[in-house]
Homo-oligomer: A and B are copies of this chain.
Amino acid sequence: MPRAVRERQMMDAAVQTFGQRGYRAASMDEIAELAGVSKPLVYLYLNSKEELFTACIRREASALVEAVRAGVEPGVPADHQLWNGLRAFFTHAAENPDGWAVLHHQARTHGEPFATEVAAMRTEIIGFVTYLIGAAAREAACDAELAEREVAGLAHALVGAAESLAGWGNGTPGVSSKETAATLMNFAWAGLENLMNGQRWAPSPGNAG
């Protein structure tokens, strides 16, 4: 069996074990058994539990970023770009619950070097969303152009909302990825569209705060 295929089997087994049992509880014995290989072979290929976990984070992060990028179609209207991106994100998280658990829970709760790995992925996704919102705003050619800093803030809000909703969706029986995507679309699109059209919420007189 070629090395690449065997490594992939080990990684699949590792993501499943880390995602379902947690980083600390997962053992190399378990991972080797699930992959159908000997424990020395896992160590030979992937060195240590820490390196194996880091490799899992990187693989799952790349897959998630790739899924979101592939989901967004350039050239369609901004609302459909957002809708496609959200569908791609929530579908990927729902179809890869162990990978999502590795990124969203395990990688963030076991200190360094794992937190830095997942922070790098988050920065990449936020950069991509910032670019999309900025491009949509330029296309709308709104009178009240969105400041670069506000676009960055909006991207952080959108990504934070998506993470939180995916965690809720994956943990709540019967919630589909289409439903979480629609909830976030309804939550986020109207505000973004208003901002692109230069419309802002303002406190009404007498209720100013």
Query: Of B115, B175, B185, which one neighbours A149 at CB under 8 angstroms?
Result: B175
Interface residues of A in 153-198 (CB under 8 A from B): 153-154, 156-165, 167-169, 172, 175, 179-180, 182-195
Chain A positions 45 through 75: 1 when the CB is less than 8 Å from some CB of chain B, otherwise 0: 0000000000000000000000000000000
A157 to B203, CA, bound (A): 23
Binds B, one of A11-19, A95-103, A106-114: A106-114
Q: Which residues of B contact A193 (CB under 8 A)?
A: 190
A117 to B202, CA, bound (A): 36
Closest residue of chain B to A192, judged by CB?
Answer: B187
> In this assembly, does A40 line the interface, its C-beta being within 8 Å of a C-beta of chain B?
no
Given contacts A83-B203, A83-B209, A191-B189, contact A164 B156 (CB under 8 A): yes
Per assembly, the copies of the chain total 2
- Are B164 and A207 in contact (CB-based, < 8 A)? no
A162 to B153, CA, bound (A): 10
> In this assembly, does A28 line the interface, its C-beta being within 8 Å of a C-beta of chain B?
no
A179 to B207, CA, bound (A): 18
A158 to B168, CA, bound (A): 12
Q: Which residues of B contact A204 (CB under 8 A)?
A: 77, 80
A165 to B192, CA, bound (A): 16
Least Cβ–Cβ distance between A160 and chain B, in angstroms? 2
Interface residues of A in 105-138 (CB under 8 A from B): 108-111, 115
- Are A115 and B111 in contact (CB-based, < 8 A)? no
Q: Which residues of B contact A168 (CB under 8 A)?
A: 152-153, 156
- Are B153 and A159 in contact (CB-based, < 8 A)? no
Known contacts A182-B200, A188-B191; 13 additional CB pairs below 8 A are: A76-B207, A80-B207, A83-B203, A109-B115, A150-B183, A152-B172, A153-B179, A156-B167, A157-B184, A158-B161, A161-B161, A190-B191, A191-B191
